[in-house]
């Protein structure tokens, strides 16, 4: 599972970061902070290539940056 979060710390307020979870819901990787959501989506596409996901395959992630969590498909 992949989730995009909005940072709440004072140093990076309003920036986004991506969290990757394994099948047992354990955190595998937490990315650096990004200034825009589009940059976070680029990170998801790049990491999908590392995990040998084909570029034509569907990548699903959960957007937790708003008030309501939304599942989005790339």
Residue 4 — very low, low, confident or very high, per pLDDT cuts 50/70/90?
very high
Rounded Cα–Cα distance for residues 46 and 73 (Å):
15
pLDDT at 42: 93
Domain membership of residue 19 as a residue range: 2-73
The pTM (predicted TM-score) of the whole model is 0.86
pLDDT at 37: 94
Do 64 and 18 contact (CB within 8 A), yes or no? no
19-60 residue pLDDT tens:
999 999 999 999 999 999 999 999 998 888 887 788 788 889
Least confident of 35-39, 46-50, 63-67, 70-74: 46-50
Rounded Cα–Cα distance for residues 24 and 30 (Å):
16
Do 44 and 53 contact (CB within 8 A), yes or no? no
pLDDT at 7: 93
Name the domain count of the chain: 1
Count CA atoms within 13 Å of residue 74 on its CB side.
Answer: 22
């Amino acid at each position: 599972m992949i989730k995009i979060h909005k940072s709440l710390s004072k140093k990076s307020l309003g920036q986004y970061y991506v969290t990757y979870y394994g099948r047992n819901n354990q955190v595998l990787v937490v990315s650096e902070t990004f200034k825009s959501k589009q940059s976070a989506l680029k990170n998801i596409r790049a990491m999908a290539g590392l995990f040998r996901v084909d570029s034509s395959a569907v990548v699903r992630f959960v957007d937790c940056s708003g008030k309501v969590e939304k599942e989005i498909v790339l």
